Structure 1
């Protein structure tokens, strides 16, 4: 909190996602962080991409500008790659950012992912204020772990992001280690801050037991255990492992129902899901695809489920993990990336291995371990409930919004208080937008 006699800290945040319009891990983080900073007395301005009409959202101490690409950017987009289109949008961000800086005079600019780093650095240099980036994901080497070759243009952007000219926050110790190993970023420039959220909406039931029972009856009988997955339907997320493990679970517990809430984000992901539904057609009455749902509806699904799955081949952090835990669900997750830092094995859930593939090839979730962990929790309901309660407490203690906000503010203040000659980038260079 700002002291009564000091001016409030003012932050300008640049992002490609903001949850009310584009739901995803980055959008959730920016939404939670911006609102948490504002409630703590900071004055926060967010400039974020929107595919729709421009809009301005206002709350106390918080103004969010949702900005679509300019007509000039849109007219060129069809001829450009994804990365070059995003670079072009950074020019739009610079235009809007300059207006916000004239109005608000921020103390610091905080950008998220490589998508907005070019605009942030230009604006920071022009305004003479510190610039800070948060890394939510890394393409190299993570994408190779599920058989995808990273886009060379994205790797170029990542090398620029982690070039040592800008301090970086990463969302897990695992991510920090990958950044150091892959790009050699100095430990003095790298800060690990776990994601956090306003846990209240997930901690307390929002409906009566009778209402939850009616909702559950739409997908299962009262005696059918429900296993829930929420997230993108993408190879990274271990979707193939969900189907393969479900087959083993259903061979022993045929009454179990599997709910998958999420959508695909590419033609390849859509083809993967279509192939899985054909391959496992004999399970179609026990595995239900719900499509992509608003975040507020996920809390309803948590309340009618018995356990949650996060079987990712690699997860930088995993908001879906702490959302499920906050709702009281025991978790079965992979020991890979953020979930291994979130879940206490056999206390708040079960962690299963990710097996190495051939050198340089894709990894695999241990299907047998994934199935056995689910069966263990489904058969020992008392222990599952105990893990769910312990998980709720762990989210409150370690992954609540105040903790994340306070940690970000500590980094902010260090940068703001740093003498100008030390705050300057160690490698002087002009940022090229496109």
Structure 2
């Protein structure tokens, strides 16, 4: 990619890039890269891919999807996942030297500890500023759903902050956690809420008759549809979904639950199997749809009467803003970034998360069920909350706001208010 027009040049380095590796970080990096490009920056992305390597081109944006060498994640060698990721950082640095020798960024922006080493090394060799975004923490949050954090990952998270001149994070909740856990001064942390291109959620691409036909495939005309979208994982409060559904269906039998999400580990698969067996009496009232592309999730939002986001902790909460952008009333756990997205009683409903004596957290199942029954009994309230939620995300979580926040950090680190050309060196 050339730089004949003197654009601000940004190098993003990440392990995830949607849709090749889908997750919160991948979604963020995808939206950030495309948003910066549309804003007039020259953007290059270096990202991991589990498939074939590729270079994708569009206006102002070049994405290098890099496959690791066979030995990088070779478990037979006895190397841990963390060791494999650190080795992949060597691959990223080597790739940058070979393929980006004629393109020099003004700033390097890495994401999570997974690409910290590569981001810092590339920036140091080029002589340009570097900033990292922290999207989540293993310690202490994984303890909140009964999982022991991997000590190697905890050590890498610590190194993420050691020596950092500046960090971006995605919610006030995360900023507080970083300060409490690692003692980073407030002035070193910028909070920029995540955002999405929400236009496809605001404006459906198909007529209402299409959604009516889809709804008939999952529910009878007199049945309400309650939707959950996201990973099937203990963090996401899945046991509370089943337990609350049992209570709701005991009072309102004409309700169907749609669970759209896949498992990502043997533990998660075992959890959903155990829940399905324990709540077998719910039968077809709970339909497990598996993992679906985001485009199909938008269809589900259009046919849902409400959406559940009962996570024990969320650094931010993409699933909440997707549902709210579609006008669906959201019932969310009051945990992490979710309580910054949903205003209880105004743009959705929040239910408490309790902390047990063992530090494990639990969603208040009775309150989760009661919130659903409240909306089922009062369609006008549900409609009002859905409309207010849509207005809230339109005001606060549109992509230009996130892009502008990142640009302000970039310019501050560059010590500039305009967009002069980089004085950085080419990689040797």
Band of TM-score, shorter chain = over 0.9
SS at match of 2:344: coil
Distance 2:35 2:186 in 1: 27
Report the equivalent of 1:333: 332
2:129 touches 2:414 (CA, 8 Å); kept in 1?
yes
| Residue 50, structure 1, aligned to residue 41, structure 2 | no
1:164 touches 1:186 (CA, 8 Å); kept in 2?
no
| Residue 405, structure 1, aligned to residue 403, structure 2 | yes
- CA deviations 1:26-67 (Å, max 9, x no partner) are 010001010000000000000110000001111100000111
SS at match of 2:147: coil
Superposition map of 1:118-197 within 5 A: 118-197=117-196
Equivalent residue pairs, number: 413
The alpha-carbon distance between structure 1 residues 110 and 310, as it changes in their structure 2 partners (threshold 3 A), is same
Distance 2:207 2:34 in 1: 29
2:73 touches 2:79 (CA, 8 Å); kept in 1?
no
Report the equivalent of 2:385: 387
Report the equivalent of 1:415: 413
**Deviating more after overlay: 72-81 vs 301-310:** 72-81
| Residue 367, structure 1, aligned to residue 365, structure 2 | yes
Distance 2:76 2:163 in 1: 30
Q: Which runs of 5+ in 1 are unaligned?
A: 419-434
Distance 2:259 2:339 in 1: 22
- Alpha-carbon distance, 1:166 to partner: 3.7
1:164 touches 1:185 (CA, 8 Å); kept in 2?
no
Distance 2:331 2:98 in 1: 47
- Please, what is the CA RMSD of the aligned residues? 1.4
Report the equivalent of 1:12: 11
Report the equivalent of 1:429: none
| Residue 290, structure 1, aligned to residue 286, structure 2 | no
SS at match of 1:410: helix
1:228 touches 1:308 (CA, 8 Å); kept in 2?
yes
Distance 1:311 1:251 in 2: 20
1:77 touches 1:85 (CA, 8 Å); kept in 2?
no
2:215 touches 2:303 (CA, 8 Å); kept in 1?
yes
- Alpha-carbon distance, 1:165 to partner: 2.3
Superposition map of 1:233-312 within 5 A: 233-312=232-311
Superposition map of 1:341-352 within 5 A: 341-352=340-351
Q: TM-score, normalised by structure 1?
A: 0.93
Q: Which runs of 5+ in 2 are unaligned?
A: 417-428
1:311 touches 1:334 (CA, 8 Å); kept in 2?
yes
Superposition map of 1:3-152 within 5 A: 7-75=6-74, 79-152=78-151
Distance 2:344 2:278 in 1: 32
- Alpha-carbon distance, 1:356 to partner: 1.2
Q: TM-score, normalised by structure 2?
A: 0.94
- Alpha-carbon distance, 1:20 to partner: 2.0
- Alpha-carbon distance, 1:100 to partner: 4.8
